[in-house]
Amino acid sequence: MDLSTTYLGMKLRSPIIPAASPLAEEIDNICMMEDAGAAAVILPSLFEEQLLSESNSLHHHLSYGTDSSPEALSYFPDPADLNLGPEEYLKLIQQAKVTVDIPIIASLNGDTDGGWVNYARQIENAGADALELNIYAIQTNMNLSGEEVEAEYVNIVKNVRSCTSLPLAVKLTPFFTNLGNMAKRIVEAGADALVLFNRFQQPDIDLKNLSLYPHYLPSRPFENRLPLTWIGILYKRLAVDFAAVRGLETAEDVLKMLMVGANVTMMASAIYKNGIHHIRTVEQDLARWMEENEYSSIAQMRGSMSQLNCEDPSAFERTQYIRTATTHLPVLP
Ligand SMILES: Cc1cc2nc3c(=O)[nH]c(=O)nc-3n(C[C@H](O)[C@H](O)[C@H](O)COP(=O)(O)O)c2cc1C
């Protein structure tokens, strides 16, 4: 059974990769990921400004939330120990490179033009195999047009592309008026892969204390319909690799993403919930399904259910919406 795939110019042993999260801040966890069969590791984002405490409190809420298994909890250090500044981050890359054999993909969340470029160079010098740009910004400035925001995204990719020869992945939000156009411009600006999609955290209100707090909700399976739809639409229309992320937990989820055209699949919530060994379980289930259904390689199934290749291309578009919106569902008594 050939589970290998290619991503960012690298040949990977399987399509299963832990998504960027503070789990990979610990070298022991990176080793456990490799032992569990992870095809590569995405490091947590290096944040140019001090968004770190926010990110770590997110990690804390998830790690110690009711959805985590006791076994999974043992992986997690206290959030106070997790602040990785640029120097520690570069050291982590170097340490990971000498400790494990799988590719190490760094992740960067910049704030200024200079910051993106400067850190991208340093990450390359530290020996990372590739770089994922996590462009995470919630726009609250009403005077900024959509066009200006999009130009900013394209600029970041162009600037980073011009300063590093590392393979470049760009993790995008789905919130663009014309996502296909945005994806095309990001690819033209130099991205080698699109990671679809990142997930914004929204605050909740604590009614007892009347305060806002960053209550983290692990993603739910239905959320993977979004990357499934968009990878299915963009596959072969753009000369770029695709990573599917958001709401993936099982081998079935992985299979569906590969069938619409993903090169690789990524998971964060599912690994927090089930533990790092979950990677191995998904791989075994994936291989079993392929054997039972007479597939001998990932390459054989990749893109078979994309919009270009599926029997009913309208399933990805408006006609399908009308079809489902006009279907009567049974009303519960
Ligand atoms: C605790 C936690 C921390 C995360 N930190 C990062 C990060 O540093 N950089 C990033 O690009 N994504 C980060 N993510 C987002 C994940 O990489 C992923 O995109 C998102 O959780 C959706 O995948 P999932 O449905 O498998 O959880 C984080 C997610 C979690 C749960």
**Over the stretch 222-269, which tens digit does the pLDDT of each residue have?**
999 999 999 999 999 999 999 999 999 999 999 999 999 999 999 999
Spatial separation of the C-alpha atoms in residues 260 and 282, rounded to whole Å: 18
Distance 265 CA to ligand 1 centre (A): 13
Distance 319 CA to ligand 1 centre (A): 33
333 pLDDT above the threshold of 90: no
3-state secondary structure 150-210: HHHHHHHHHHHHHHCCCCEEEEECCCCCCHHHHHHHHHHCCCCEEEECCCCCCCEEECCCC
CB 304 within 8 A of CB 259: yes
**pLDDT: which is higher, 24 or 316:** 24
Among the residue ranges 27-41, 53-67, 94-108, 111-125, the one predicted with the least confidence is 53-67
Shortest-distance atom of ligand 1 to CA 266: 26
How would you label 79-105 residue by residue, b for 16+ Cβ within 10 Å and e otherwise?
beebebeeeebbebbeebeeebebbbb
Spatial separation of the C-alpha atoms in residues 87 and 92, rounded to whole Å: 9
pTM, full prediction: 0.89
Q: Which residues contact residue 266 at a Cβ distance below 8 angstroms, ignoring those fewer than 6 apart?
A: 17, 18, 19, 20, 42, 195, 243, 244, 245, 248
Kindly state the average pLDDT of the residues 200-229. Answer: 86
Residue 22 Cβ inside 6 Å of ligand 1? The answer reads yes
Spatial separation of the C-alpha atoms in residues 268 and 298, rounded to whole Å: 22
Q: How far is CA 184 from CA 94, 154, 167, 201, in A?
A: 33, 10, 17, 26
Residue 278 Cβ inside 6 Å of ligand 1? The answer reads no
Digit-coded pLDDT (tens) for 109-133: 887 778 889 999 999 999 999 999 9
Distance 46 CA to ligand 1 centre (A): 13
Q: Which residues contact residue 300 at a Cβ distance below 8 angstroms, ignoring those fewer than 6 apart?
A: none
Sign of torsion over alpha carbons 228, 259, 243, 280 = positive
Distance 21 CA to ligand 1 centre (A): 5
Distance 201 CA to ligand 1 centre (A): 10
Spatial separation of the C-alpha atoms in residues 266 and 246, rounded to whole Å: 8
How would you label 4-21 residue by residue, b for 16+ Cβ within 10 Å and e otherwise?
ebebbebebbbbbbbbbb
- Top mutation candidate among 199, 216, 228, 249 for ligand 1, by most atoms within 8 Å of CB: 199
**pLDDT: which is higher, 320 or 108:** 108
pLDDT of residue 213: 79
Atom 28 of ligand 1: nearest residue by CA position: 21
Spatial separation of the C-alpha atoms in residues 135 and 287, rounded to whole Å: 34
Digit-coded pLDDT (tens) for 278-329: 999 999 999 999 999 999 999 999 999 999 998 888 888 866 666 666 676 6
Peptide bond into 197 cis (omega under 30): yes
Residue 268 Cβ inside 6 Å of ligand 1? The answer reads yes
pLDDT of residue 132: 98
pLDDT of residue 215: 66
Residue 118 Cβ inside 6 Å of ligand 1? The answer reads no
Residue 58 Cβ inside 6 Å of ligand 1? The answer reads yes
Residues 221-229: contacts with CB under 8 Å, at least 24 apart = 221/247, 221/249, 221/253, 222/247, 223/199, 223/247, 224/248, 224/253, 224/256, 224/257, 226/174, 226/196, 226/197, 227/196, 227/197, 227/257, 227/262, 228/256, 228/257, 228/260, 229/316
Shortest-distance atom of ligand 1 to CA 45: 8
Atom 22 of ligand 1: nearest residue by CA position: 246
Residue 173 Cβ inside 6 Å of ligand 1? The answer reads no
pLDDT of residue 61: 47
Distance 323 CA to ligand 1 centre (A): 34
CB atoms within 10 A of CB 117: 17
Distance 326 CA to ligand 1 centre (A): 35
Shortest-distance atom of ligand 1 to CA 272: 31
Domains of the chain: 5-307 (3.20.20.70)
Residue 44 Cβ inside 6 Å of ligand 1? The answer reads yes
pLDDT of residue 81: 47
Distance 314 CA to ligand 1 centre (A): 31
Distance 279 CA to ligand 1 centre (A): 16
Distance 117 CA to ligand 1 centre (A): 23
